[in-house]
Amino acid sequence: MIDTLKNVFGFESFRPNQEVIIKNILAKKDVFAVMPTGGGKSLCYQLPAKITKGTVVVISPLISLMKDQVDAARENGIAAAFINSSLLQGEALSVYRDLKDHKLELLYIAPERFAMQGFIETLRKVPVSLFAVDEAHCISEWGHDFRPDYLGLSRITEIFPDSPLAAFTATATPKVEKDIINKLRLRSPFTVRASFNRPNLFYKVRSKRGLDTQLVEFLSKHKDEPGIIYRTTRDSVTALADTLTHKGIKALPYHAGLTREERKTNQEAFNRDEVSVIVATIAFGMGIDKSNVRFVVHADLPKNIEGYYQETGRAGRDGELAECVLFFGRGDIPRIRYFIDQMSDDRERAVAMDKLNKMVMYASHNSCRRSRLLEYFGEDYGDENCGACDICTGTVKRVDATVDAQILMSAVSRTGQRFGIRHVIDIVTGADTKRIRELQHNEVKTYGAGGHKDKRHWQFIVDELLAQDAICQDGDRYPVLKLTEKGRGILFGNEKISALKREEPEKKQGAGKGGGLGPYDEVLFDKLRTVRKKLADVQQVPPYIVFSDRTLHEMCRHYPADISGMAGISGIGDAKLERYGDDFIRVIKTYLDDNPGISIPEKKHSALSCEPVRNKTKGETFNKTYDFFKEGRSIKEIAKARNLAISTIASHFEQLIMAGRDMDIDRLVDPERRDRIGKLFLTLQSWQLNPVIEHFKGTVSYEEAKFVRAYMQRKNV
């Protein structure tokens, strides 16, 4: 596991929960895991795909997401493919052939595909080492994104009783968790409920007023950074995208009213960093795997906290700092209520209304945003100050609000507790409206008593009274304000009430406790980002698939100027090191030459050009491989005996050679062929494998080239 984690994925250690999940999968146990977006769910099934015999089948809801994940897996050297309706007939047949020939380590399909009897019969003939259900909350009618197609997955354990089943989701309340386990018929699953806390995300709520101006101002502080702006309607998406474009901001729309081709084109432009902003409805939900999204903005109020949490989770998947901003105006509430009112089922309508009320409470209450979110999912944050939300980092001033509270509650009481927020504020501020005159509320004693302060102030007072349970809203369709027992005590002078007035800081937001990895060289980052974009365009993949922002940031902290140093950067496995290492080293070397005064923290030791990429064996697993080799077994026989991939055994061989073990190189590579490969390495004056493979037009394998390189490096040739 550790070898594969480092050599394939480029990581030195697992994230929380990954190791124990993978161990249970390898032990053929069912697994249910709730892990936050960006928590590393995909590695939990991609790593087993690399080291187990057979194919891991991943069931994912959106075809646009499959391609990105397959591209990323292939970049790491995993034999991966997908089958969905986007493939041409010939392409699909090619994948089917590879599947039947046992050439695929990882296969992505949609839930509809599993429902096809012909496909199930094909899978019966393939050793399936694991079924992984992604976005598993889609199977639960209690979840926020129920999809009937997922119900067919309940047959997996019946049809494939010998294959473990793992279900993953980022958003599931305990009730939804229980429903998923029952619907998928998981067999005594190992269960993980990870923390929902995303310490690298900064949460902020701002009052919505002059939204377009507010958004342009916000984006000016995030120039060229990738981000998503969510809006409720298609028309508002299109209008905002046009406005931003006219302001010189590279933005594109995404909603269900666009053609399929338009949606695909716009999403790919965003993924490939050709535009910085995508303006979208929630149709842009699970179809995005972009790791370097630096902000998510909700320009309208979401319907519920589950959806809000998942959408904000698109930000900062690489673990680096990201900002989540919600522009909140109470004018959004009636629009959502209108759609809730159309629901014919009373229970469904009540559940939706309860979720909306909780969303409004999150947006309007002056308490730690992070604590509120975690509390919704049944988690106690346990810290008074998260250090990464507008409440915890703002300047908070406690003010006595008793008099203003009495003015507002008097208006509520004197009008019979039969009117909503807007009308009560109109009375307090002395608005001259037709409705006030018709109801003779201009004759109420408190009419105009608060006219010296604007409506925003009185909205703030309402929010505070609601938050502190001094008033409540009653009624689903047309909620009215009513006094509580506590409110009556304040109104009649028996209690006082204070409110928190806050000022948002202008400084750059930091991360929460444990979030973010510190400053990096931003000038070098821009140069490396340019290189990444060029390489990604050649490979026809999004830039973040080449290297994540997190990996580039680490380069910009440690300045790796040789292969050894680059190999120590998080997120760089063997395949990516071979493919891209030299390109980035070249830029970093030039940058260091141009800036000789740069201080390099924890500088990697300087290596000779022939130093091995990695020069140490790791415990018992290498010894087992070595013992099999000394018995005279071939690489294929050892892979079969150890139930490991051939590429993993080849990596063992390479490192055993470098460690000086007695490895008969003539058994691994024909001497004449070895001589020709060695001469080419010397001619090229480079240890890269790709030029060697291309020169010999495929007659020399990667494994053979690796073994010769390791042999030469060991001999210091």
pLDDT, averaged per 10 consecutive residues of the chain (717 residues), comes to 86 88 95 85 93 92 79 89 88 91 92 86 92 88 72 90 92 83 93 89 89 93 93 94 94 90 89 92 71 94 91 88 91 85 86 89 85 88 85 77 94 94 94 93 93 89 84 78 93 86 54 62 92 89 90 92 85 85 90 85 42 43 85 87 73 82 89 90 78 80 85 75
CA distance 41 to 529: 26
What burial class does residue 1 get, using C-beta atoms within 10 Å of its C-beta: 0-12 exposed, 13-18 middle, 19+ buried? middle
Other Cβ atoms closer than 10 A to 277: 24
Domains 397-503 and 620-714 in one fold: yes
pLDDT at 235: 94
Tell which residue, 510, 603, 526, 508, has the closest CA to residue 562: 603
Query: In 3D, which of 99, 110, 92 has the Cα closest to residue 152?
Result: 110
Residues 6+ apart with CB under 8 A from 487: 409, 465, 469, 470, 471
Choose among 320, 361, 717: nearest CA to 515. Answer: 320
Query: What pLDDT is stored for residue 604 in this prediction?
Result: 41
Burial category of 592 from C-beta neighbours within 10 Å (exposed 0-12, middle 13-18, buried 19 and up): middle
Check if the beta carbon of residue 362 is closer than 8 Å to that of residue 305. yes
In the CATH hierarchy, which fold is given to the domain comprising 620-714? Arc Repressor Mutant, subunit A (1.10.10)
Q: What phi, psi does 517 have (nearest 5°)?
A: -115, 15
Contact by Cβ (8 Å): 10, 572: yes
- Per-residue model confidence (pLDDT) at position 395: 60
pLDDT at residue 484, rounded to an integer: 93
pLDDT in the model for residue 284 = 73
Structure tokens at 83: 């089958």
Q: How far is Cα 651 from Cα 665, in angstroms, rounded to an integer?
A: 14
Single out the residue of 68, 46, 41 nearest to residue 57, CA to CA: 46
Q: Which CATH number fits domain 522-594: 1.20.810.10, 3.90.1170.40, 3.40.50.1000, 1.10.150.80?
A: 1.10.150.80
Distances 510 to 66, 322, 388 between C-alpha atoms, Å: 33, 9, 6
Model pLDDT, residue 407: 95
Domain residues of the chain, as ranges? 2-193, 201-379, 397-503, 522-594, 620-714
Mark 329-350 as b/e (b = at least 16 C-beta within 10 Å).
bbebbeebbeebeeeeeeeebe
Q: Looking at domain 397-503, does it have CATH number 1.20.120.80?
A: no
193 strand-pairing partners: 34
Confidence (pLDDT) at 68: 81
Beta pairing class for 106-109 and 55-59: parallel
Q: Which residue has the tokens 């500088």?
A: 603
Helix axes 89-100, 117-124, angle to 10 degrees: 30
pTM of the predicted structure, to 2 decimals:
0.68
* pLDDT score recorded for residue 394: 76
∠ CA 362-367-373, nearest 5°, is 45
Q: What is the CATH number of domain 201-379?
A: 3.40.50.300
Tokens (6 digits) for 704: 């053979």
Can you give the pLDDT at residue 44? 95
Asked if residue 540 lies in contact with residue 520, where contact means CB atoms within 8 angstroms, the answer is no
2-193: what fold?
Rossmann fold (3.40.50)
In a 13 Å sphere around the CA of 161, the CA atoms on its Cβ side amount to 1
